[in-house]
Amino acid sequence: MELVLEPWHWFVLGILLILSELLLPAFAALWFGIGAIMVGILYWMFPMMGLTTQILTWIILSVLCTLLWFKFIKPLSIDKTKAGLSREATIGQIGMVIQTDLEQDQIRVRFPLPVLGSDEWDCRALDKVQVGDRVRVVDILGNDLVVQPHSTQYQNEKGE
For 54-80, the pLDDT digits (tens) are: 999 999 999 999 898 888 877 776 655
What backbone torsions phi and psi does residue 5 show, to the nearest 5 degrees? -100, 140
> What tens digit of pLDDT does each residue of 35-60 get?
999 999 999 999 999 999 999 999 99
Q: What percent of the chain has pLDDT over 70?
A: 86
pTM of the model: 0.49
Could you tell me which CATH number the domain at 83-149 has? 2.40.50.140
Measured in Å, how far apart are the chain's first and last C-alpha atoms? 77
Run of H or E residues at 17:
helix 7-20
Cβ burial 82-91 (10 Å sphere, 16+ → b, else e): beeeeeeebe
pLDDT the model gives residue 83 = 52
pLDDT the model gives residue 78 = 67
Distance in angstroms (rounded) separating the CA atoms of residues 70 and 151: 38
Q: Which residues of the chain have pLDDT under 70?
A: 1, 77-86, 152-160
Residue 58 CA, chain-centre distance (Å), reads: 28
Q: What residue type is 86 in one-letter code?
A: S
Distance in angstroms (rounded) separating the CA atoms of residues 154 and 3: 76
Q: Structural domain boundaries of the chain?
A: 7-77, 83-149
Number of C-beta neighbours around residue 153 at 10 A: 7
pLDDT the model gives residue 119 = 81
User: Is 86:115 a contact under the CB 8 Å cutoff?
Assistant: no
pLDDT the model gives residue 17 = 92
